Amino acid sequence: MTRTARSGRAILRWGQGLAGFAIVSTLTFLGLLAITFFIGRVVPIDPVLSVVGDRATQEQYDVARVAMGLDRPLVMQFFSYVGDVFQGDLGRSVSTNRPVVSDLARVFPATLEMATLGILIGVILGVPMGVWAAARQGTWVDQIIRVFALLGYSVPAFWLGLVGLAVFYAGLGWVAGPGRVDIFYDGLIDPVTGLLLVDSLLVGDTEVFWNALSHLVLPAAILGFFSLAYIARMTRSFMLDQLSQEFITTARVKGVPEWKVIWVHGFKPIRVPLITVIGLSYAALLEGSVMIETVFSWPGIGNYLTVALLNADMNAVLGSTLVIGAVFIFINKISDVLYRVLDPRSL
């Protein structure tokens, strides 16, 4: 087969993969829309009462119900909901009296910033720990790392957050307290990306940068601890399977240095499944940071969702749920793409 023919087939496979990616992503997102819509209809919360209040007259209630389109058949409401979502309209929040899209654009970067630093901590520490534990299977090193990972599964997030604040903020004074930045610096940086660390560097304000980092490091480290536990455990499992293969024994018999046996012959094949593990862990941090955001008064999507639930603000609840679900879909698909790039056999 000529080089041109091989290139043509490769382009065709990538095109088919891209088309499949678009179709599957669209269908999955439509399924997510259906789930969020029907959840919003079956929960014992009346969206009309959330708007007009429980002291409204029956006439006011009926007018609001018609204005919100809730008098139409359920199927028509669903198609109207889908149409609004694809136009970027998630309704108006009862709590803030602003469009939900605007609220989410304001709060999501804060969660993204914290979760990104958390997953970086989890990957940078968790992967080497997992590899080290597998390479020293059965030794005290392996036992300590396994116990450390077990703590990440067992310790409640809110308890660890409170202890972290008591020790590192109130006790030692190593980090700043709750919130995203000290009140003195609040509003000094005009949002560009919404990521305060990035925006402060873009305008060259290092004072705000270090203050924001001081607020971020503790909640991100706690999130990183939870992701570290999962990543280290899965890395150890993958590495144990690889190190038991015959080609590893052959490499050692040939006198290949142990570090090369572990990090080249052993670690290289597990990169592909590890991408999926890291992707799922990252998505879980974005979705599961509610407790941490509540403890640290972090103005992210988890805190926004909690307030919306307490206020029976269904537009905000459904919008937040939809964004979190879309993030899961996006990260999963990115993981699939990286899987194909790292493992050409999957093409």
Interval 254-280: pLDDT, tens: 877 887 888 888 888 888 888 888 888
Average pLDDT over residues 103-125: 90
How much is the pLDDT for 282? 86
Extents of the domains making up the chain: 3-86, 100-346
pLDDT at 27 over 70: yes
The reported pLDDT for the residue numbered 343 is 60
Give per-residue pLDDT as tens, 76-106.
Answer: 878 887 887 888 888 888 778 788 888 898 8
Q: Collect all residues with Cβ–Cβ distance below 8 Å to 41 and sequence separation of at least 6.
A: 74, 77
**Residue 235 token pair:** 């890395």
Which residue type does 61 have? Answer: Y
117, 110 Cβ separation under 8 angstroms = no
Place of tokens 């269904």: 314
pLDDT tens sequence across 302-347:
888 888 877 777 788 888 888 888 888 788 777 777 766 666 554 4
pLDDT at residue 15, rounded to an integer: 63
CA 317, CA 189: separation in Å to the nearest integer? 28
Check if the beta carbon of residue 19 is closer than 8 Å to that of residue 31. Answer: no
What is the per-residue pLDDT for 147? 87
Backbone angles phi, psi at 92, to 5 degrees: -115, 135
- Per-residue pLDDT tens digits for 46-85: 667 666 666 777 777 777 777 767 777 777 878 887 887 8
* Cα gap 303→307, rounded to integer Å: 6
Closest-CA residue to 148 (of 218, 222, 226, 234) = 226
Report the CATH number of the 100-346 domain.
Answer: 1.10.3720.10
A 10 A CB-CB count for 85 gives 22
* CA–CA separation, 64 and 62 (whole Å): 5
- Residue 8 has a pLDDT of 59
pLDDT classification of 20: cutoffs 50, 70, 90: low
